């Protein structure tokens, strides 16, 4: 049912581009911006666009014309985004600037979620346009938050939304159960984890705490984590936090080895009696934009013969993502629209924490997804669960059925969450919901009728 709704939504967004001519007659009542003179050069058009953007950024709050809260006007913003994306992709500077100006004039980063997401996607499209024109202003649009700002944006999102907690708690439960299955048979109470995306190490304190409940001072558990970080600063600070936390548990022998992302899966001193778990939480879709890189990673993982491989990724509509700009754009728009909507259920609109999450975390993801094929960096992927299943099975991994305890834990997480606005019935907190997939082989976190992320577990076949 959910997939059918998403397919219909995807089609409606696509049809918005076709309806561009029909919408033109409404633009004059939507925005006072006149059509750009035909003799105006590209440089002048871009400077005008940047002036309008600067004016938008100075607005503290703007509600629009009064009709902007209606679904009709939200769809018009979606229409403008898709027409702008099509124009940018075709290097039609005049059309792109015209539509992007309308977006900036009719949206604001402190208004409703539709306007907020439209503003950040407009920034991404503007950056792509500037890059194509070799504009010196590209760096201004793409300026990234400081590491401090990124850390606290991630921390705020982790605290108020079940998005990352669902991923980490589900992965941890699968890892613990794999460790317990081998305890006394193949391991000597030693668990080694290879984490391909440290994300400040937020996943591991709860695992350390859970393991400590199964250990004693006389019969401790050894936990060894090899983690890949995006920067040296993140690696050093993560190690310090985890080492400090683990010191509070005398029955856990903790070791940490930090590596920089991209340094490759190095050989480590492996003992015969240890359980190896591989943690692929937001790594394959966030860090590897080529199928060949994903295949290389999965082949390397097989060499260490892990007892469990945990996979958690964003999910899309099933269209295999290559270097197709419009497909990637629409997938990213669908996903981030749901993410921005979900924040209505977690924080008030004027919350400083929310503005930090949106501007210093989600906006960075959005811009990465729009310029992925232009700056040589990796981008987000939004593949369907079935696509991941085929990919894992083709590399000789077999699925592991998730336990009832894992599923109940995910549902309990949502029930425990207190939200800022409406409450829904069922297995959800606010508009979030848990869905069982693949006959128990996977579970997903959804926002209303959209799947956000899916978790599954695998072992070598």
The string of pLDDT tens digits covering residues 123-166 is 999 999 999 888 999 999 999 999 999 999 999 999 999 999 99
User: How does DSSP classify residue 230?
Assistant: S
pLDDT, one tens digit per residue, over 197-236 is 999 999 999 999 999 999 999 999 999 999 999 999 999 9
Structure confidence at residue 269 (pLDDT): 60
Structure-token pair, residue 83: 């027409």
d(CA 335, CA 302): 31
Backbone angles phi, psi at 172, to 5 degrees: -60, -40
User: Average pLDDT in the 405-429 region?
Assistant: 67
Structure confidence at residue 291 (pLDDT): 61
Structure-token pair, residue 306: 């892990």
Is pLDDT of 31 > 80? no
CA distances from 345 to 251, 338, 359, 360 (A): 39, 11, 18, 19
d(CA 315, CA 6): 11
312 CB contacts (<8 Å, ≥6 apart)?
A: 167, 170, 171, 280, 281, 282, 453, 454, 455, 456
Higher pLDDT, residue 367 or 376: 367
Higher pLDDT, residue 66 or 245: 245
Please report, rounded to a whole number, the percentage of residues in the chain having pLDDT higher than 90. Answer: 60
Mean confidence (pLDDT) of the chain:
84
d(CA 10, CA 8): 5
Structure confidence at residue 434 (pLDDT): 93
Structure confidence at residue 385 (pLDDT): 87
**Sorting pLDDT into bands at 50, 70 and 90, what band is 323?**
low
pLDDT, one tens digit per residue, over 62-108 is 554 444 455 677 888 999 999 999 999 999 999 999 999 999 999 99
Structure confidence at residue 294 (pLDDT): 86
**Sorting pLDDT into bands at 50, 70 and 90, what band is 381?**
low
SS3 percent helix, strand, coil of the chain, rounded to 5, is 55, 15, 35
Is pLDDT of 379 > 80? no
Is pLDDT of 429 > 90? no
Q: Contact, 457 vs 310, CB < 8 A?
A: yes
User: Average pLDDT in the 434-440 region?
Assistant: 88
Is pLDDT of 189 > 50? yes
Q: Contact, 421 vs 353, CB < 8 A?
A: no
């Amino acid at each position: 049912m959910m997939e059918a709704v998403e397919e219909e939504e995807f089609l409606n967004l696509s049809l918005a581009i076709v309806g561009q001519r029909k919408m033109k007659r409404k633009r004059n009542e939507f925005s006072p911006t006149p059509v750009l003179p035909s003799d105006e050069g590209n440089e002048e058009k871009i400077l005008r666009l940047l002036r309008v953007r600067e004016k938008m950024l100075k607005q503290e709050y703007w509600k629009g014309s009064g009709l902007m809260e209606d679904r009709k006007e939200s769809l018009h913003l979606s229409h403008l985004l898709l027409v702008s994306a099509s124009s940018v992709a075709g290097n039609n500077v005049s059309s792109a600037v015209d539509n992007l100006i309308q977006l900036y004039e009719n949206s604001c980063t402190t208004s409703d979620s539709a306007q907020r997401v439209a503003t950040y996607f407009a920034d991404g499209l503007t950056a792509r346009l500037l890059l194509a024109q070799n504009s010196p202003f590209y760096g201004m649009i793409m300026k990234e938050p400081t590491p401090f700002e990124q850390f606290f944006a991630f921390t705020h999102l982790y605290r108020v939304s079940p998005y990352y907690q669902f991923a980490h708690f589900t992965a941890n439960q699968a890892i613990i159960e794999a460790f317990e299955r081998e305890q006394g048979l193949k391991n000597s109470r030693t668990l080694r984890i290879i984490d391909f995306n440290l994300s400040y190490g937020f996943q591991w304190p709860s695992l350390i705490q859970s393991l400590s409940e199964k250990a004693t001072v006389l019969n401790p558990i050894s936990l060894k984590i090899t983690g890949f970080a995006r920067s040296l600063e993140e690696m050093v600070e993560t190690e310090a936090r985890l080492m400090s936390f683990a010191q509070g548990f005398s029955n856990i022998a903790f070791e940490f080895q930090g590596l920089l992302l991209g340094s490759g899966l190095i050989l480590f001193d492996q003992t015969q009696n240890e359980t190896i778990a591989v943690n692929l939480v937001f790594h394959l879709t966030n860090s590897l934009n080529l199928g060949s890189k994903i295949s290389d990673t999965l082949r390397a993982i097989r060499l260490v013969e892990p007892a469990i491989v945990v996979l958690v990724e964003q999910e899309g509509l099933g269209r295999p993502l290559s270097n197709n700009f419009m497909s990637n754009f629409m997938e990213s728009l669908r996903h981030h629209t749901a993410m921005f909507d979900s924040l209505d259920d977690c924080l008030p609109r004027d919350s400083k924490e929310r503005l930090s999450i949106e501007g210093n975390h989600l906006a960075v993801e959005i811009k990465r997804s729009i310029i992925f094929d232009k700056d040589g960096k990796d981008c987000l992927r939004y593949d369907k669960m079935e696509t991941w299943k085929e990919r894992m099975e083709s590399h000789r991994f077999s699925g592991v059925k998730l336990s009832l305890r894992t599923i109940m834990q995910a549902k309990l997480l949502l029930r425990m969450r207190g939200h800022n606005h409406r409450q829904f019935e069922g297995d959800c907190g606010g508009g979030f919901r848990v869905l069982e997939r693949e006959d128990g082989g996977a579970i997903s976190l959804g926002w209303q009728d959209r799947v956000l992320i899916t978790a599954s577990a695998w072992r070598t076949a």
